[in-house]
Structure 1
Amino acid sequence: MKKKLLSVMLASVLTLSMAGCQSSAVNGVSEDQNTTNATDTSAGGSGETTSNASADLNIMLETPVESLDPQQATDGTSFEVIADFTDGLMQMDADGQAVNAIAQSVDISEDGLTYTFHLREDANWSNGEPVTAADFVFAWQRAVDPEIASEYSYMLSDIGQIVNAQDIIDGSKDKSELGVTAVDDKTLEVKLNVPVSYFLSLMYFPTFYPVNEAFYESCADTFATSPETTLSNGAFVLDDYQPAATTIHLTKNPDYYGADSVQLAGLNYQVIQDSQQALMSYQSGDLDTTLVNGEQVDQVKDDPAFQAIGAGYLWYISPNIQEVKELQNVNIRYAFTMALNREAITTDVLKDGSAPTYTAVPMDFAAGPDGSDFSADQEKFSDVCRFDADAALEYWNKGLEELGVSEITITMIHDADDAPIKVAQVVKEQLETTLPGLTVELQQMPKKERVQRMQDGDFELGLTRWGPDYADPMTYLGMWVTNNSNNYGFWSNSEYDAIIAECTTGETAMDAEARWAALYDAEKIVMDEAVIFPLYTQCNAELISTSVSGIEFHPVALNRVYKNATKN
């Protein structure tokens, strides 16, 4: 069977711009990066500093890094830093297209089931050893190894459809049987169960990044917890980091195969969770980029340095349907979602261009076979998800009657960051004002603790978000499959599971139009049962110094990429 050489990804999806944001988006194609924004950050303003072209870029982080292990990391902040010093087989260009990185070329069989990656000869680890196909085999086997228990193992099974991945995750096959083979040092062969049109775009997701086995074994349990236990094959080298650190520093990697195009001397991250402190640091020149929130936007929105950039995250409230009796009542859930004034949250609280959202899959994110946006119609579920105080009260009273109670007290957990704190306070006010007899108690905590509690089912309501890993509705809809680790409410529906399975491995997976229609059906089940209460699709309001240009912004997988940035 003759194979064809592709230098760009195969994708059935198109890219749309982030309509809810003030900055324009650049069209790109990618399963999980459909709405890619590439912004030339030539902005003016109070953060302007004078520096040499090869200076460090000073970057504000809103939350700490949770893990720098590519197969264990689960949050966007960690993914960003990992991608600073690690390249995968593919990377994103400024438009979000999948382009070659460690892979110099890829052959795809005519049936779409075999991918053969040819690795570049000049890719090396920072200890001088070459990057080999075996590094990818080892890393991917780690990702599906039940002993590692990677939360993103489903990227290889449900999403990537790599042969034997699911059986290995379930424990019925050994990890050595994963459908990935090092043909030789520079040739990696991957076998799939079914064709996956967006497979190449998965390759820039950190779970698929390589790990040098000998180095990993030498680190024992300390792997990726310090500069000494971290290897680089990317644009920068980690030289200052410890878990839960408030500062992280990376230096340009002189041995990087693309070093000639890297203009920054390094990256200097500062974790600042107080928005006022962050703004002051930017204004004093200690930061080159910073997020601004709420009332700060009113102060700086006319500054040329201000930009609202699509971040791709869907913020929503997850009810614990399995454990909380009151939330098992669908009328109570309808009352909650109808009582939420999303427009007030985005316009009066966030003020950053974020868009009210009434669907389980956000708008301007994934386009179907005909080019239409999957969630362009934000009123398609208005019978069960809209702001309607009268309808909310009607559902509330009906639910209370069915439960045989007149009052409900419920606790909502949320992150201890600026925006989630403000949003949670407004949600509490809206719910309590509209629904008499309801008391919402708020508990704020570090993100890591909040995520752990939601995964453990130790919560009642949780304010959370999901950032897309690839530009297809499945990146959201796959979360609600029974026993998925991100199905925080432990909801289960056999009809839903069957639709998702059919769209993943069944005949429907081979028919783009039929698959799209089936995914609509799946989303309808999620919304009709009020599995989540969608709130808004996030934009980031940022100030970026006039001395900085070339930062690439992507609302999918990797939100910010710095290897082509400059600072003058």
Structure 2
Amino acid sequence: MYKKNAFSLRRRSLIKGAVATGIMAGFAQPFSWVYARKKTPRPAKESLMISVGAEPEAGFDPCTGWGFNGYRLFQSALLDFDANINLITDLATGYQVADSGLTYTYTLRRDVLFSDGTPLTAADVVFTYQTAKNSGSVVDLTMLRSVEALDSHTVVFTLNKPWSTFVTLTAQLGIVPAKRYHAGRYREEPVGSGPFQLVQWDKGQQIIIEPNPHYYGVPSPFKKITLLFLDEETALANAKSGQLDVVMVNPEYAKESVAGMQLLTVRTVDNRGFNLPVIPRGSDKSGKPIGNDVLCDHAIRKAMNIGIDRQWIINNALNGIGTPAFSRVDQLPWSNAATHFKDNRIHEANALLDAAGWQRGSDGVRVKNGLRAEITFNARTDDLQRYNLALALAENVRELGILLHAQARPWSECKEKAAYEPCCWGFGDYNPQDLYSGYHSQGSYNFSHYANPVVDAWIDKALASTNHAKAIEEWQRCQWDGKTGPDGEQGDMPFLWLVNIDHTYFVAEGLKLGNQRLHPHGHGWPVVGNLQYWTWDA
């Protein structure tokens, strides 16, 4: 029988082949918690130097998507999220939803100024939503029919259909000033009501920010914060030389030792998993290939889900940094605990495949009616973590008699082939609409061609709800309602979820990063979502 620890002996040769396709070589060793060597804490100071991600080349315009997952910095929104991703008030003191579910009325605070000293009013909210709706960007406002100001501090949104996640969207879209907004310049010269203001942007190098003197909330104790745009190796070298106070690191570097710094690990909903096409191979209306003859068999999908060892995969592919994932929305308020199950049930998974008629061939690969259990799984060439996951998964499923080929491809090609060859996806949003995108038969990310009318009905009911708390119950039922659903060991399993990747940062001793909320998809920038609460505790 194939042994899992054989992966550590073979992975070097496996990854060598990835170099030719543009993948960085090298797997990290199994993870162990790493803390820096202790030294005398640095004295309190008034400025910070940090490196937490790539330069946002599109700029800082929330109307085109900046800060949509909660790290706006320069703007604030009508609502916000607490540490547990529950909705709380921000610019709005409250809101009401009409019984029809078509009208949302928000009442604004009266003490809010933009960073240029001008007041924020309902007219700015109206302008922001109209601009975002017409921008054609990632901000989806197709459900919004109109927005109007009843008075200077009351805004009414009218939807063209009930859409309960609209209230969540109002916690994601930052407000811009109508009189200071210019589509061509605002992205580089943002004015907002958030805790910070941008004072300098050296393209390709850094931005310098300072506290917004007119901010209505808790002010930052730091007078100047510089965010450097460095590649990870350069950033880590600068940290080791004492030039940085915070530096983002991916799992490959998390075992490094940095004098005077500690490793901060933050839990996330930044998940990784492969879509599993649930229909036989064929073509769509345009003639494009869809479906997969192996994966359309539920026994194969279930055997992989219950038979793999997610923790082993995390240890070998991600340096042990992450937690096993069993659904699309683990740990979020609308997560359904019934979708979690025990994995690494190798004997049960093999028995399931035997009973389904998948018999082992002479080479150990299962065959059914002349069809080999042989599948290509794709991962993007510019993301070592996803490719490492594919490699580790390929080794893990060998014990099930499934031959998986991990292939590195350009991201555009991965997405193009996802309808018939599994692709490694990264999700993790603060909006339950993500479940609609992935599991509804009309969802934009339903690359598995999954269609369950009961699931569709639960999702439609959740979207039509006029009560956010009630909608959460229906979002939970759409995952598994006790009889059917996409997730859980009795579910339809159109996805093979593997991991929620922890986000890791080296942080200078004495610097406290406050109460970090559950991070969304996208390692790096989310850590500054509460930047105004960072303190120096010398």
So what's the TM-score if we normalise by structure 1? Answer: 0.68
| TM-fit CA distance, 1:231 | 2.9
The equivalent of 1:59 in structure 2 is 51
Q: Is the 8 A contact 1:432 1:440 kept in 2?
A: no
Find the aligned partners of 1:283 and 1:95 in 2 and give their Cα distance: 33
| TM-fit CA distance, 1:513 | 9.6
1:390 and 2:347 equivalent?
Answer: no
| TM-fit CA distance, 1:434 | 4.6
1:439 and 2:401 equivalent?
Answer: no
Aligned positions, number: 473
Find the aligned partners of 1:513 and 1:469 in 2 and give their Cα distance: 12
Q: Is the 8 A contact 2:79 2:171 kept in 1?
A: yes
Question: Do the aligned partners of residues 306 and 123 (structure 1) sit closer, same or farther apart at CA in structure 2, a change above 3 Å counting?
Answer: same
| TM-fit CA distance, 1:332 | 4.4
1:236 is aligned with what amino acid? F
Give the one of 447, 450, 460 matched to 2:421: 460
Equivalences for 1:481-520 in 2 at 5 Å? 481-505=440-464, 515=474, 518-520=477-479
Find the aligned partners of 1:522 and 1:298 in 2 and give their Cα distance: 42
Per the alignment, in what secondary structure is the counterpart of residue 139 of structure 1? helix
Question: Do the aligned partners of residues 410 and 139 (structure 1) sit closer, same or farther apart at CA in structure 2, a change above 3 Å counting?
Answer: same
Find the aligned partners of 2:80 and 2:254 in 1 and give their Cα distance: 33
The equivalent of 2:215 in structure 1 is 257
Per the alignment, in what secondary structure is the counterpart of residue 269 of structure 2? strand
Find the aligned partners of 1:130 and 1:404 in 2 and give their Cα distance: 72
Find the aligned partners of 1:247 and 1:352 in 2 and give their Cα distance: 32
1:356 and 2:319 equivalent?
Answer: no
1:374 and 2:336 equivalent?
Answer: yes
The equivalent of 2:485 in structure 1 is 525
1:469 and 2:461 equivalent?
Answer: no
The equivalent of 2:270 in structure 1 is 313
1:106 and 2:94 equivalent?
Answer: yes
| TM-fit CA distance, 1:425 | 2.9
Identity of aligned residues (%): 18
Q: Is the 8 A contact 1:457 1:488 kept in 2?
A: yes
Rg larger in structure? 2
2:196 is aligned with what amino acid? F
Find the aligned partners of 2:450 and 2:332 in 1 and give their Cα distance: 25
| TM-fit CA distance, 1:534 | 0.7
Per the alignment, in what secondary structure is the counterpart of residue 505 of structure 2? strand
Find the aligned partners of 1:260 and 1:253 in 2 and give their Cα distance: 10
Find the aligned partners of 1:310 and 1:268 in 2 and give their Cα distance: 25
1:84 and 2:78 equivalent?
Answer: no
The equivalent of 1:566 in structure 2 is 535
Q: Is the 8 A contact 2:357 2:368 kept in 1?
A: no
Equivalences for 1:327-342 in 2 at 5 Å? 329-330=296-297, 331-338=299-306, 340-342=308-310
| TM-fit CA distance, 1:562 | 0.2
Q: Is the 8 A contact 2:205 2:230 kept in 1?
A: no
Structure 2 stretches of 5 or more lacking a match? 1-34, 280-289, 360-364, 521-525
Find the aligned partners of 1:281 and 1:241 in 2 and give their Cα distance: 20
1:428 is aligned with what amino acid? A
The equivalent of 2:523 in structure 1 is none
Find the aligned partners of 2:36 and 2:225 in 1 and give their Cα distance: 21
Q: Is the 8 A contact 1:312 1:538 kept in 2?
A: yes
| TM-fit CA distance, 1:236 | 1.8
Per the alignment, in what secondary structure is the counterpart of residue 188 of structure 1? strand
| TM-fit CA distance, 1:501 | 0.7
The equivalent of 1:186 in structure 2 is 153
Question: Do the aligned partners of residues 542 and 556 (structure 1) sit closer, same or farther apart at CA in structure 2, a change above 3 Å counting?
Answer: closer
1:566 is aligned with what amino acid? T
Per the alignment, in what secondary structure is the counterpart of residue 526 of structure 1? coil
Structure 1 residues 29-83: Cα deviation after superposition (integer angstroms, max 9, x where no partner): xxxxxxxxxxxxxx97579884663203413227866664424338x7x7455x1
The equivalent of 1:345 in structure 2 is 313
Structure 1 stretches of 5 or more lacking a match? 1-42, 157-164, 169-176, 368-372
Question: Do the aligned partners of residues 89 and 407 (structure 1) sit closer, same or farther apart at CA in structure 2, a change above 3 Å counting?
Answer: closer
2:530 is aligned with what amino acid? V
| RMSD (Å) for aligned C-alpha atoms | 4.4
1:346 is aligned with what amino acid? I
| TM-fit CA distance, 1:288 | 1.8
Question: Do the aligned partners of residues 441 and 257 (structure 1) sit closer, same or farther apart at CA in structure 2, a change above 3 Å counting?
Answer: closer
Q: Is the 8 A contact 1:47 1:282 kept in 2?
A: no
Q: Is the 8 A contact 2:291 2:419 kept in 1?
A: no
Question: Do the aligned partners of residues 408 and 350 (structure 1) sit closer, same or farther apart at CA in structure 2, a change above 3 Å counting?
Answer: closer
Q: Is the 8 A contact 1:335 1:393 kept in 2?
A: yes
1:130 and 2:97 equivalent?
Answer: no
Give the one of 237, 242, 245 matched to 1:285: 242
The equivalent of 1:13 in structure 2 is none
| TM-fit CA distance, 1:87 | 0.8
1:236 and 2:236 equivalent?
Answer: no
Q: Is the 8 A contact 2:114 2:193 kept in 1?
A: yes
Per the alignment, in what secondary structure is the counterpart of residue 311 of structure 1? coil
Question: Do the aligned partners of residues 359 and 312 (structure 1) sit closer, same or farther apart at CA in structure 2, a change above 3 Å counting?
Answer: closer
2:65 is aligned with what amino acid? A
| TM-fit CA distance, 1:85 | 1.0
Q: Is the 8 A contact 1:133 1:182 kept in 2?
A: yes
Per the alignment, in what secondary structure is the counterpart of residue 430 of structure 1? helix
Per the alignment, in what secondary structure is the counterpart of residue 389 of structure 2? helix
Find the aligned partners of 1:459 and 1:358 in 2 and give their Cα distance: 22
Find the aligned partners of 2:104 and 2:302 in 1 and give their Cα distance: 46
| TM-fit CA distance, 1:412 | 0.6
Give the one of 392, 397, 401 matched to 1:426: 392
| TM-fit CA distance, 1:249 | 1.3
Find the aligned partners of 2:228 and 2:422 in 1 and give their Cα distance: 31
Per the alignment, in what secondary structure is the counterpart of residue 533 of structure 2? coil
Q: Is the 8 A contact 2:208 2:225 kept in 1?
A: yes
2:421 is aligned with what amino acid? E
Give the one of 256, 261, 267 matched to 2:225: 267
Question: Do the aligned partners of residues 292 and 86 (structure 1) sit closer, same or farther apart at CA in structure 2, a change above 3 Å counting?
Answer: same
The equivalent of 1:541 in structure 2 is 504
Q: Is the 8 A contact 2:94 2:106 kept in 1?
A: yes
Find the aligned partners of 1:63 and 1:350 in 2 and give their Cα distance: 24
Segment of structure 1 superposing worse, 478-487 or 426-435: 426-435
Q: Kindly indicate which of the two structures has a greater share of residues assigned to helix.
A: 1
The equivalent of 2:382 in structure 1 is 416
Find the aligned partners of 2:353 and 2:58 in 1 and give their Cα distance: 41
Find the aligned partners of 1:310 and 1:415 in 2 and give their Cα distance: 25
Question: Do the aligned partners of residues 358 and 314 (structure 1) sit closer, same or farther apart at CA in structure 2, a change above 3 Å counting?
Answer: same
1:350 is aligned with what amino acid? L
The equivalent of 1:24 in structure 2 is none
The equivalent of 1:23 in structure 2 is none
Find the aligned partners of 1:51 and 1:182 in 2 and give their Cα distance: 49
1:554 and 2:517 equivalent?
Answer: yes
- Larger relative CO (CA 8 A, sep 6+): 1 or 2? 1
Question: Do the aligned partners of residues 202 and 339 (structure 1) sit closer, same or farther apart at CA in structure 2, a change above 3 Å counting?
Answer: same
Q: Is the 8 A contact 1:392 1:435 kept in 2?
A: no
Structure 1 residues 436-460: Cα deviation after superposition (integer angstroms, max 9, x where no partner): 55433223x5xxx46x953895883
| TM-fit CA distance, 1:490 | 4.1
Per the alignment, in what secondary structure is the counterpart of residue 391 of structure 2? helix
The equivalent of 1:29 in structure 2 is none
